[in-house]
């Protein structure tokens, strides 16, 4: 089982020069800043001695090359020193610019970005990558430092932030060679809508119990990108269906049912987001169930909350392509209700994932403020799975039925787990997240979308875990 959402922090060191060279993106020459050029050369880090240049050639105050010469200088520099390193740094955030995100790939492209195509396919990290001068990965707290090539600075310095099919490219206004250049706060983030970059095409079910569409808006997704499904050519990145009577109404008000998605439209989507519908009696035909399994095995990404996971993983697929015991130990499928609010425990280290607990504990995230790390609060948990198959699945968070962690430090049921598909295959293509947390019902306070969404109340601790797992579900698989 591959490690999930592994985090790395990579720091590049730059060199110093006596007077910085400015690389301007407005087409200027970028000579030495702050004083006229007096005919001296920068010595590659040792400082300008003030002595006249002994090399031949004409010094016109132009930009220096990588060896320290200025344009038009044909002489030999006596001590050019090693080439220096230019870097950019910052913190990657979610679309709202509120929560820092780990494990986001940051790179400077060397050409056109790889074109993403909507629909299900067996994408890998390699197939979704683009040619790059250099790349790095954001650390647990979202920070990064990226070495960049400034030789084409007059044409603009581009930096890209990407995880799976989420991708945003920005152009830096200016950089200074041979030093680190911090990116302005709030600039390094994932896109809010398709005008800012790429977002995976996602089918989302609206239900009477939860309002994940409101959580997406709170995460920073533009409401214009969350629209009812009408035709296969719809461009909105989150297209809504229903598995019951939606808590919030939309325009148009009539939404297609989830089984319709399985019948005719599933292959159009990279991912699906199915909340709990309040009952485990939702049915689907054998053909529809087989369609869902094939879609996931081919590369689809599914985020399933409570009863939709019970239906699709346990109740109806238990005797078909995904045996219930293949990924976890399931109960009766009727949803035991633990003490609420619950004190969930985030797993860290082997065999659990190493990133979620450390991320939630960050002061900038505040995901463990109520109980203290590694615990977080969740308002409406359910108990369906008591353990996971450590060979085929990864457990991210656990619960204890009565919050009696002092006497039962390992807990007695699973809150969140994931497995890659096809189950047990040497090469994974898709991913399924099962979550027993629920989006707090109070996130939807009105009757219509998006006006009825509460976007002023801060994200609850379980909503932050929810958001983290949404990006886990769509992250690339090596």
Q: Do 75 and 173 belong to one domain?
A: no
Q: Which domain holds residue 55?
A: 17-82
Domain assignment present for residue 235? The answer is: yes
Domain assignment present for residue 2? The answer is: no
Q: How confident is the model at residue 280 (pLDDT cuts 50, 70, 90)?
A: low
For 119-136, how does the pLDDT look when each residue is reduced to its tens digit (9 = 90+)?
A: 999 999 999 999 999 999
How many CB atoms sit inside 10 A of residue 9's CB? 14
Q: How confident is the model at residue 308 (pLDDT cuts 50, 70, 90)?
A: confident
C-alpha–C-alpha distance, residues 307 and 438, integer Å: 10
Residue 63: pLDDT over 90 = no
Which position has the token pair 């994940």?
212
Domain assignment present for residue 64? The answer is: yes
Q: Do 62 and 146 belong to one domain?
A: no
Residue 104: pLDDT over 80 = yes
Q: Do 64 and 115 belong to one domain?
A: no
C-alpha–C-alpha distance, residues 93 and 104, integer Å: 9
Given 53, 82, 111, the domain boundary residue is 82
Domain assignment present for residue 187? The answer is: no
Q: Do 93 and 47 belong to one domain?
A: no
Question: In the numeric block, which tokens belong to residue 120?
Answer: 């299900």
* Average pLDDT for the chain: 80
Q: Do 274 and 317 belong to one domain?
A: yes
Q: Do 31 and 147 belong to one domain?
A: no
Residue 20: pLDDT over 50 = no
For 416-475, how does the pLDDT look when each residue is reduced to its tens digit (9 = 90+)?
A: 999 999 988 889 999 999 998 887 777 888 788 999 999 999 999 999 999 999 999 999
Question: In the numeric block, which tokens belong to residue 407?
Answer: 């006497």
Strands in 180-182's sheet, in edge-to-edge order, are 143-148, 86-91, 180-182
Q: Do 94 and 223 belong to one domain?
A: no
DSSP conformational letter for 277 = -
Q: Do 107 and 39 belong to one domain?
A: no
* Max Cα–Cα distance, the chain, nearest Å: 87
Domain assignment present for residue 7? The answer is: no
pLDDT of the residue at 269: 95
Please give the C-alpha separations between residue 6 and each of 2, 140, 358, in angstroms, as whole numbers.
9, 9, 12
Given 64, 82, 100, the domain boundary residue is 82
CATH number, residue 375 = 3.40.50
Domain assignment present for residue 136? The answer is: yes
**Which SS3 state, helix, strand or coil, does residue 144 take?**
strand
Q: How confident is the model at residue 241 (pLDDT cuts 50, 70, 90)?
A: confident
Q: Do 91 and 111 belong to one domain?
A: yes
Q: Do 253 and 332 belong to one domain?
A: yes
Domain assignment present for residue 122? The answer is: yes
Q: Do 139 and 282 belong to one domain?
A: no
- Quote the number of domains for the chain: 3
Given 154, 182, 210, the domain boundary residue is 182
**Residue 226 forms beta bridges with which residues?**
238
Q: Do 50 and 122 belong to one domain?
A: no
CATH number, residue 109 = 2.60.40
Domain assignment present for residue 190? The answer is: no
For 366-406, how does the pLDDT look when each residue is reduced to its tens digit (9 = 90+)?
A: 999 999 999 999 998 888 888 898 888 999 999 999 999 99
């Amino acid at each position: 089982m591959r490690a999930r959402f592994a985090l790395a922090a990579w720091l590049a060191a730059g060199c110093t020069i006596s007077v910085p060279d400015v690389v301007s993106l407005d087409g200027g020459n970028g000579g030495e800043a702050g004083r006229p050029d007096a005919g001296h050369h920068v010595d590659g880090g040792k400082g300008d001695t003030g002595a006249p240049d002994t090399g031949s050639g004409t010094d016109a105050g132009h930009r220096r090359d990588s060896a320290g010469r200025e344009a038009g200088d044909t002489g030999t520099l006596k001590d050019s020193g090693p080439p220096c390193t230019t870097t950019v740094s910052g913190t990657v955030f979610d679309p709202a610019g509120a929560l820092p995100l780990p494990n986001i790939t940051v790179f400077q492209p060397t050409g056109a970005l790889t074109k993403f195509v909507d629909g299900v396919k067996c994408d890998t990290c390699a197939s979704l990558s683009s040619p790059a001068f250099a790349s790095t990965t954001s650390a647990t707290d979202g920070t990064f430092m990226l070495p960049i090539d400034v030789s084409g600075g007059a044409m603009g310095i581009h930096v890209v932030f990407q995880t799976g099919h989420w991708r945003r490219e920005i152009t830096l206004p200016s950089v200074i060679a041979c030093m680190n250049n911090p990116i302005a706060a709030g600039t390094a983030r994932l896109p809010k809508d398709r005008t800012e970059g790429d977002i995976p095409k996602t089918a989302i079910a609206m239900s009477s119990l939860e309002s994940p569409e409101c959580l997406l808006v709170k995460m920073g997704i533009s409401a214009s990108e969350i629209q009812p499904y009408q035709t296969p050519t719809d461009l909105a990145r989150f297209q809504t269906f229903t598995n019951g009577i939606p808590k919030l109404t939309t325009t148009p008000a009539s939404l297609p049912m989830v089984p319709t998605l399985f019948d005719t439209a599933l292959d159009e989507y990279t991912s699906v987001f199915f909340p709990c519908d309040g009952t485990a009696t939702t049915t689907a035909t054998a053909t529809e169930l087989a369609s869902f399994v094939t879609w996931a095995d081919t590369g689809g990404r599914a985020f399933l909350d409570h009863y939709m996971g019970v239906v699709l993983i346990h109740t109806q697929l238990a005797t078909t392509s995904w045996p219930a015991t293949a990924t976890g130990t399931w109960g009766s499928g009727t949803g035991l209700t633990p003490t609420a609010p619950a004190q969930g425990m985030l797993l860290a280290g082997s065999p659990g994932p190493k990133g979620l607990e450390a991320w939630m504990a960050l002061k900038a995230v505040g995901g463990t403020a109520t109980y203290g790390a590694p615990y977080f609060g969740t308002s409406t948990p359910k108990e369906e799975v008591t353990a996971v198959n450590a060979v085929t699945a990864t457990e991210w968070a656990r619960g204890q039925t009565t919050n009696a962690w002092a006497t039962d430090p390992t807990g007695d049921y699973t809150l969140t787990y994931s497995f890659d598909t096809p189950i047990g295959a040497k090469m994974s293509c898709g991913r399924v997240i099962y979550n027993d947390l629920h989006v707090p019902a109070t996130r939807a306070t009105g009757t219509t979308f998006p006006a009825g969404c509460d976007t002023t109340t801060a994200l609850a601790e379980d909503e932050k875990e929810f958001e983290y797992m949404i990006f886990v579900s769509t992250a690339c698989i090596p």
